């Protein structure tokens, strides 16, 4: 099946290789795009953010593997824009769960961000000390 036949306007598409699973809405097909045939798309969440979806990434010499986004793809993309308050941790009055870790903020607006790997390291340290 040709790339131009895979999608139509209003389809929500994504690729694991394009901005880590970014989801976007197809607006129109561009058969005369300078680089190659492509689609103009709108980011699913961010207003006025346009993207181009094309089948093959010539810079890295590989296909972009575009597909119709699944419910999981959409949920994972939307979760990037959520911060979930967890409560207070010691002197940090706000602990928030983000899509990639935890953020701690204190009254002096000092911010600590721990990503998933750092949280795993911290868990290991705590288990060693308290276990």
Dump pLDDT digits (tens) for 57-80. 888 788 888 999 999 999 989 988
Integer Cα distance of 57 and 125 in angstroms: 42
**Cα 88 to Cα 3, 57, 125, distances in angstroms:** 50, 45, 21
The helix/strand/coil state of 18 is coil
pLDDT given at position 12: 97
64 neighbors 53 (Cβ within 8 angstroms): yes
Residue 67 pairs with which residues in a beta bridge?
Answer: 14
pLDDT tens profile 7-37: 999 999 999 887 778 899 999 998 887 667 8
pLDDT tens profile 87-129: 998 889 989 988 778 999 988 888 999 998 999 999 999 999 9
Mode of pairing for the β-strands spanning 84-89 and 92-98: antiparallel
Integer Cα distance of 127 and 131 in angstroms: 5
pLDDT given at position 118: 93
Q: What's this model's pTM, rounded to 2 decimal places?
A: 0.65
């Amino acid at each position: 099946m040709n790339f131009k036949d895979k999608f139509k306007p209003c389809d929500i598409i994504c690729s694991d290789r394009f901005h880590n699973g970014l989801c976007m809405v197809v607006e129109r097909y561009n058969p005369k795009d300078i680089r190659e045939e492509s689609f103009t798309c709108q980011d699913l969440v961010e207003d006025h953010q346009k993207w181009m979806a094309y089948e093959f990434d010539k810079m890295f010499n590989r296909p972009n593997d575009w597909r119709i986004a699944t419910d999981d793809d959409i949920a994972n993309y939307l979760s990037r824009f959520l911060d979930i308050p967890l409560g207070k941790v010691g002197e940090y009055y706000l602990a928030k769960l983000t899509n990639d870790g935890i953020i701690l903020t204190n009254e002096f607006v000092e911010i600590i961000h721990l990503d998933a790997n750092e949280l795993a390291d911290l868990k290991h340290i705590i288990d060693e000390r308290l276990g």
